[in-house]
């Protein structure tokens, strides 16, 4: 997959205070990258620098190979974004909002407006006033407006804020569709890990203006040492058959750190000593648990 956004060692100072410290990450075509961190970590500032809304103190941002500082028009022409909240005219219909946005670009046809309405799932309500829309519908209309000119990079700042579970699901389905069918690279910032875990492919954690880790979801939720949770009929005296770092979690649950070969040996020992194995599963952390472990403390507000 082609890299369409490269952020290289960007720094930002406000006076003598450094807000961002050598922030680097990249976004590929068709990828949904979660840009994760607590409120005040530097997510929105990073996004504003990427979009050219604030000046970069040092470092580089390349969008589709064009430098945002030296070739702004070319860099930004295939970018769609919502920073903080969609900018909509509440007293106009959804369709009229899209028509006004379309006037800002060259060659946006009526067919393209109809297409983004369909993509956003707003066909039944597009001729209602936006003031009558739910928050989730306004967010989807905002995304429809952001992709009306067929960008290949979409940047969303905290788009799940205030959404109910249904609204989050609708947003998730829309973004997955855009990444898969439109081959769009999507950067989505959030302080809520649980909302992003089910649909982002990779994550970049920022804390106190610095990137702590960038990784795939699959890799980051795996423990550094493979472990298994084993449910037994009892756990009395079981510790003497386990390794020193293995844990007894409850009166019927143990946690064993081992690879596949080692776990087979432990199971054999337990069975030999009359323990009944009721259930076993590989231990996978939640995204939030994994980040808390890697960041060494509370990272999410």
Q: What is the pLDDT of residues 202-216, one digit of tens each?
A: 889 898 999 988 887
**What beta strand segments (E) does 29-147 contain?**
32-36, 58-63, 66-67, 79-82
Place domain 3-220 in its CATH homologous superfamily. P-loop containing nucleotide triphosphate hydrolases (3.40.50.300)
Tell me what the mean pLDDT of segment 119-128 comes to: 93
Name the residue with higher pLDDT: 235 or 227.
235
Given this model, what pLDDT does residue 300 score?
45
Tokens of 231: 């449910």
Is pTM, for the whole model, over 0.85? no
Other Cβ atoms less than 10 A from the Cβ of 262: the count is 14
Does pLDDT of 168 surpass 70? yes
CA distance 221 to 39: 22
State the Cα torsion 139-141-143-148 to the nearest 10°: -170
CA distance 213 to 299: 13
Q: For the residues of 175-241, what is the DSSP string, one character each? A: HHHHHHHS--EEEEEES-HHHHTTT-SEEEEEETTEEEEEEEHHHHTB-SS-EEEEEES--TTGGGG
């Amino acid at each position: 997959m082609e890299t369409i956004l490269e952020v290289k060692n960007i720094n930002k100072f406000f006076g003598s205070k450094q807000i961002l410290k050598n922030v680097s990450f990249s976004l590929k075509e068709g990828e949904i990258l979660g840009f994760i961190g607590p409120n005040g970590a530097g997510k929105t500032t990073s996004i504003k620098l990427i979009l050219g809304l604030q000046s970069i103190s040092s470092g580089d941002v390349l969008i589709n190979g064009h430098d945002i500082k030296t070739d702004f028009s070319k860099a930004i022409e295939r970018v769609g974004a919502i920073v903080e909240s969609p900018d909509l005219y509440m007293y106009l219909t959804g369709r009229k909002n899209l028509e006004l946005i379309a006037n800002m670009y060259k060659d946006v046809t009526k067919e393209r407006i109809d297409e983004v309405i369909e993509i956003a799932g707003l066909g039944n309500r597009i001729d209602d006033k936006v003031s009558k829309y739910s928050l989730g519908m306004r967010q989807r209309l905002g995304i429809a407006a952001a992709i009306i000119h067929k960008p290949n990079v979409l940047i969303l700042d905290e788009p799940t804020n205030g959404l109910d579970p249904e609204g989050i699901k609708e947003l998730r389905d829309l973004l997955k569709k855009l990444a898969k069918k439109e081959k769009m690279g999507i950067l989505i910032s959030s302080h809520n890990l649980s909302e992003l875990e089910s649909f982002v492919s990779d994550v970049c954690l920022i804390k106190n203006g610095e990137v702590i880790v960038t990784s795939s979801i699959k890799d980051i939720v795996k423990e550094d040492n493979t472990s298994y949770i084993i449910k037994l009929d009892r756990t009395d005296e079981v510790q003497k058959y386990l390794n020193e770092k293995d844990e007894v979690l409850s009166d019927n649950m143990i946690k064993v750190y081992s690879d596949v070969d080692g776990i087979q040996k432990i199971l054999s020992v337990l069975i030999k000593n009359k323990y009944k194995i009721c259930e076993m599963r590989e231990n996978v952390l939640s995204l939030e648990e994994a980040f808390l472990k890697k960041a060494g403390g509370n990272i999410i507000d």
